[in-house]
Amino acid sequence: MRVTQVSDSSRVSSQKRPYQRSVGVLLGVVVLVGGCERGGATADPTPEPFTDSPLRRPVVQVVAAGDISECTPAECVAADTAALVTELDPDLVLALGDTQYPGGSLADLETEYDSTWGRFLEITRPAAGNHEYHTPGAEGYFDYFGASAAPANDGYYSFDAKAWHVVALNTNDECQVVACDDGSEQQQWFAADLADTSQSCVLAYMHHPRWSTGEHLDIEAVDALWRTAVEGGVDVVLAGHDHNYERFAPLDADGDEDTAGAAEFVVGTGGAELRKFAEAPRAETAARFADAYGVLEFELGRSSYSWRFVGTEGEVRDRGGPVDCG
């Protein structure tokens, strides 16, 4: 079992994981599946093991997804994605908002979410989305996740994971409850946090994507956070909200392709019903599909990152890296 130091000012956990590594190793067959558009999965019938170069270790294994628990008496896809996370056995789980439908109540989280993704609670660091705030003040979310959701700081916080600095942002209901516009307390905190970190590589995550061709399209309300991320040297930004998968090439503050910018991944595939794209892929769209549930797996190395999207059937729909960071 890997031992990873993940620490911040609000919570340091040394407890063992609530599950054990599966004896089997998930073998994802890399295929080009219908629905994956321009620059999607890499066709490779015998993929190399998903591992960083030994010279770049230590590595933090991260799994991320949003829009998770929307179970019905007939179906609970969150159970399938949770089984996948168990098989991948990460060091850290990033829940990208809308963890529990429809309203993020404590009762639903303690029954429905807890029976699936709740098994990873000790290694989960969540971000709040709009459905969390369907319960006033997102009380159910903060009560369930406790200190891991940083309730004393309006739900935004940061921590270090080995060589990486990781920042969780709170975009709530498009920042109508907890502000995130330029000059807001959250935006100023984010800028100061990025300026203060000594880590060379940075990952940020929030529920609402700045750029998307999914149902909700671009979210203007989070523009100040995106600009702060790019100007502060963030390498990767993760989001959910749109129930599909979309990866963008590194973008600058205005959303134009720029190798010095931040790469955005939209991963709203954790279990809520998938939805079609609202417009054609853009020139900056590197890969996208809306026909597979699954999770995004990252390997965060000392000076690089690699990724792959793994579907619930074990298929690898998109992969890449290592990409230098910092």
Q: Which of 2-11, 106-115, 240-249 has the lowest mean pLDDT?
A: 2-11
Question: 52 in a domain, yes or no?
Answer: no
- Whole-number Å distance between alpha carbons of 281 and 195: 34
Look-up: residue for tokens 């080995």?
162
237 Cβ contact partners less than 8 Å away, ≥ 6 residues apart: 203, 204, 205, 206, 210, 226, 229, 262, 263, 264, 265
Q: Using the predicted structure, report yes or no on whether residue 184 has a pLDDT greater than 50.
A: yes
pLDDT band at residue 57 using 50, 70 and 90 as cut-offs: low
pLDDT band at residue 314 using 50, 70 and 90 as cut-offs: very high
H or E segment at 217?
none
pLDDT band at residue 30 using 50, 70 and 90 as cut-offs: very low
Question: 220 in a domain, yes or no?
Answer: yes
DSSP letters spanning 146-207: GGGG-GGGTT-EEEEETTEEEEE---TTTTSSS--STTSHHHHHHHHHHHH---SEEEEE-S
- Give the total number of structural domains in the chain: 1
Question: 22 in a domain, yes or no?
Answer: no
Question: 31 in a domain, yes or no?
Answer: no
In sequence order, the β-bridge partners of residue 166 are 159, 203
| pLDDT, average across residues 168-192 | 97
Q: Which of 66-80, 154-168, 197-211 has the lowest mean pLDDT?
A: 66-80
The CATH number assigned to the domain holding 310 equals: 3.60.21.10
Q: Using the predicted structure, report yes or no on whether residue 291 has a pLDDT greater than 70.
A: yes
Q: What is the pLDDT of residues 257-267, one digit of tens each?
A: 999 999 999 99
In sequence order, the β-bridge partners of residue 311 are 294
Q: What is the pLDDT of residues 6-27, one digit of tens each?
A: 334 333 233 333 333 333 333 3
- Whole-number Å distance between alpha carbons of 168 and 176: 17
Question: 254 in a domain, yes or no?
Answer: yes
Q: Mean of the per-residue pLDDT values for the chain? A: 85
Which position has the higher pLDDT, 10 or 196?
196
| pLDDT, average across residues 150-168 | 94
pTM of the model: 0.83
pLDDT of residue 32: 32
Which position has the higher pLDDT, 193 or 53?
193
Domain, as residue range, for 90:
59-324
pLDDT of residue 72: 84
Q: Using the predicted structure, report yes or no on whether residue 230 has a pLDDT greater than 50.
A: yes
Q: What is the DSSP letter of 138?
A: G
Q: Using the predicted structure, report yes or no on whether residue 38 has a pLDDT greater than 60.
A: no
pLDDT of residue 240: 96
Q: Is 307 helix (H, G, I), strand (E, B) or coil?
A: strand
Q: Which of 17-26, 55-64, 150-159, 205-214 has the lowest mean pLDDT?
A: 17-26
pLDDT band at residue 73 using 50, 70 and 90 as cut-offs: confident
| pLDDT, average across residues 23-38 | 35
| pLDDT, average across residues 73-96 | 95
Query: Taking phi first (over 0 means left), then psi (-120 to 50 degrees means alpha), and beta for anything else, what does residue 122 get?
Result: alpha
Question: 25 in a domain, yes or no?
Answer: no
Question: 134 in a domain, yes or no?
Answer: yes
Q: Using the predicted structure, report yes or no on whether residue 312 has a pLDDT greater than 80.
A: yes
Question: 130 in a domain, yes or no?
Answer: yes
